[in-house]
Amino acid sequence: MRQFYETGSKAGIIADHAKRLSLLLVRLDAARQPQDMDLPGTRLHPLKGDMDGFWAVWVSGNWRLTFCFTGSDADDVDYVDYH
């Protein structure tokens, strides 16, 4: 995700998701807590089990942007297919 966010390279992502991912990443960069990502259509939700402490927002279909917060900074940002 870092490469996409910093350079716009679509390597490793579905090209059709680029616009939404870009918007979500800009918002995540500005966020200071998980609830800052609770915007209409994002479907913000906490994760459980091995991912306890992480949060996810909807990108498209089964694809989610996952992240956690360390203090007021988003960490461990990933783009994953849930199923």
Supply the residues annotated as catalytic.
83
3-state secondary structure of 17: helix
Which ranges in the chain belong to alpha helices (H)? Answer: 2-7, 18-30
> Which residues have C-beta within 8 Å of that of residue 64, sequence separation ≥ 6?
56, 57, 58, 79, 80, 82
8: its two tokens: 């716009």
